[in-house]
Amino acid sequence: MKLCVFDFDSTLMAGETIDFLAQEAGVGDEVKKITQKAMEGELDFFESLIQRVKLLKGLEVKKVNKICQNLPYMPGAKETIQELKKRGIKVIVFSGGFRNATSYAKEKLGFDADFSNILHAKDGRLTGLVGGEMMFNFSKGDMLRRLQELMGISPYETMAVGDGANDASMFKYANKKVAFCAKEVLKNQANIIIDTPNLLEILKFI
């Protein structure tokens, strides 16, 4: 194995970044319902992302960054990444969430690169708009395929780890398809299922 790609929200991080932001913005319940539908595959990911970010309009960027720098990471996250890297495996994070969270986590957890979305802000506040690399149901699979071509790594040498419907597109390009504390829609497409919320469990399958 040469490459391991992790989802961020509810995989490396214990929860959904947007739910934490929504609580601060006073729209927690509304956003949570949309998040749930998207992760279970009942709602198109792009549409759900646009709807949810729109509800965050007006939130101060300073508050966004403070929340993103105090997110709870999944047990075993740092240790698992360290062990994978010790074995010469590149560790990448794909997130339908936000750069404010994944770039900070990159420094804390030590993975090699992050690909995520960017919350648009103006005059120190969120505008309710979003752009970036991970906005569609197919985005993670598409990015994984392109990375593999760039790095000269085959699907056979790849592990993908996620929990929700928008992680399924990665599985096409990964020999080890890990559903980690996942929704049924993803478990149905996985060949490794882990229901214990500790990422160290992954090391048993390498």
The residues that are catalytic are 7, 9
Eight-class DSSP state of 58: T
Residues ≥6 apart with Cβ < 8 Å to 116: 8, 93, 94, 95, 96, 97, 98, 99, 101, 102, 132, 133, 134
- Taking residue 147's Cβ as centre, other Cβ atoms within 10 Å add up to 19
* Backbone angles phi and psi of 28, in degrees to 5: -55, -50
